[in-house]
Amino acid sequence: MRRYLSIALLAILGGLPLAAQERADSAWRSDLPPEVAREVTDFFNDPRTIHFSGRTRIPAERVVDGDVAVLGGPVTIAGQIRGRVVVINGDVELLRGASISGGLTVVGGRVSGLADARVGGEAVAYSERLRYRRDQSERIVLTESQRRRAPEA
């Protein structure tokens, strides 16, 4: 019986992406829950959030004080972020010594390097891309198809 459980566990873990296996408090998911789509949109649109767009690199000597949102990517973090990080439709690479004091949420991308970095909160990645458009004020707004999936607030 124990042998079958071990084989089943290996089969399950073997099917998970490496990033999800690197830490017990990290997760990789394919489908983007509607509430997460709304949360990352609100996070990005918060005026207190520090914004980056496209290819982004936080070098080892850099310290960023505050929550960070990145639209697009890829994102490479070697330095320190004192806050949460949300990456929308981009991959994240954490280099040895990288530090994020809060959580890391990636939508429409993957995470690598969790074993070599420190993330103070939960690290989670959703492979499904966020479908959005920009309004006149440069805020992101969920597309109609994404909104149909999301419950009303």
Helix (H), strand (E) at residue 85: strand 85-88
Q: What pLDDT digit, counting tens, does each position of 105-128 carry?
A: 999 999 999 999 999 999 999 999
The CA distance from 108 to 126, in Å, is: 6
Cα end-to-end span (Å), the chain: 47
The answer to whether residue 25 scores a pLDDT higher than 70 is no
**Residues 76, 132: Cα–Cα separation, whole Å:** 23
Bigger pLDDT: 56 vs 16 = 56
Element (H, E) at 4: helix 2-14
Q: Where are the domains of the chain?
A: 2-149
- Strand, helix or coil at 11? helix
Report pLDDT for 35.
94
| DSSP H or E run through 43 | helix 34-45
Phi, psi of 125 (to 5 degrees): -135, 135
For residue 109, give the DSSP letter: S
38-96 pLDDT, tens digit each: 999 999 999 999 999 999 999 999 999 999 999 998 999 999 999 999 999 999 999 99
For the entire predicted model, the pTM comes to 0.79
Instruction: Give the model's confidence band at 147: pLDDT under 50 very low, under 70 low, under 90 confident, else very high.
Output: low
Residue 67 to residue 64: CA distance in whole angstroms: 8
